[in-house]
């Protein structure tokens, strides 16, 4: 399902939608409510969790509600991911 994310307002509406909120909980549950990157490093982080779109929502709206495109990250890891994406982005 492709979602309109062409504007800041449409992205805000998406993140407030019932569909997103339900899928976000499913992704967090699948990932045992812990950061998957920290877990891969042998750490357990269950605070300040966010659900990340692996393929960025802005560029791949067709994957907006695809649970296989989601992962649970702590805020620190999510910020690292966004920073590296901006540095390596060719968009």
Tens-place pLDDT, residues 29-74: 999 999 999 999 999 999 999 999 999 998 999 999 999 999 999 9
Q: Over 80: is that where the pLDDT of 17 sits? A: yes
Q: What is the pLDDT of residue 1?
A: 60
**Number of residues that make up the chain:** 91
* Mean pLDDT lowest among 4-8, 20-24, 53-57, 82-86: 82-86
Q: Which contacts of 28-33 are long-range, i.e. CB under 8 A and separated by 24 or more positions?
A: 28/72, 30/67, 31/71, 31/72, 33/72
CA dist., res. 25 & res. 10, Å (int) = 21
């Amino acid at each position: 399902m492709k979602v309109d994310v062409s504007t800041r307002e449409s992205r805000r509406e998406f993140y407030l939608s019932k569909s997103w909120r339900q899928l976000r909980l499913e992704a967090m549950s699948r990932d045992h409510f812990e950061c998957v990157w920290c877990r891969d490093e042998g750490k357990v982080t269950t605070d300040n969790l966010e659900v990340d779109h692996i393929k960025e929502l802005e560029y791949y709206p067709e994957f907006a509600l695809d649970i296989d495109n989601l992962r649970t990250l702590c805020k620190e890891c999510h910020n690292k991911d966004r920073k590296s994406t901006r540095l390596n982005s060719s968009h």
